[in-house]
Amino acid sequence: MPTATPPEVRKARAFLRSQNVTTKEIPPRKFANSAKELNKGFRELLRYIMKLRGGGQNQAAERRANIAETVRKD
């Protein structure tokens, strides 16, 4: 698992603060490590996290479809 460097963690903290996300909601170190591991930018990772957390109309059906699709591939 790749570990984020201190400058990456500082950038993650600054990004989260600029998006009005508290460090209690999403710890900057974990956020930076996740972005590095997934090879995604902070903005893209945050959108994905918020989509998972936020829910919304029809999201449960979408999750079931994604899970079913993933199971079929394996």
- Cα–Cα distances (Å) from 13 to 8, 37, 66, in that order, read 9, 17, 31
- In terms of phi and psi (left: phi > 0; alpha: psi -120 to 50; beta: otherwise), the region of 52 is alpha
pLDDT value for 52: 79
pLDDT value for 9: 96
- The amino acid that residue 40 corresponds to is K
pLDDT value for 29: 95
Q: One digit per residue, pLDDT tens: the chain, 74 residues? A: 678 999 999 999 999 999 998 889 899 999 999 999 999 999 999 988 888 777 656 666 666 676 666 666 54
Q: Give pTM, 2 decimals.
A: 0.70
- The amino acid that residue 42 corresponds to is F
pLDDT value for 47: 87
Instruction: Count Cα neighbours of 52 within 13 Å in the Cβ-side half-sphere.
Output: 7
Can you tell me which residue has the tokens 């790749």?
2
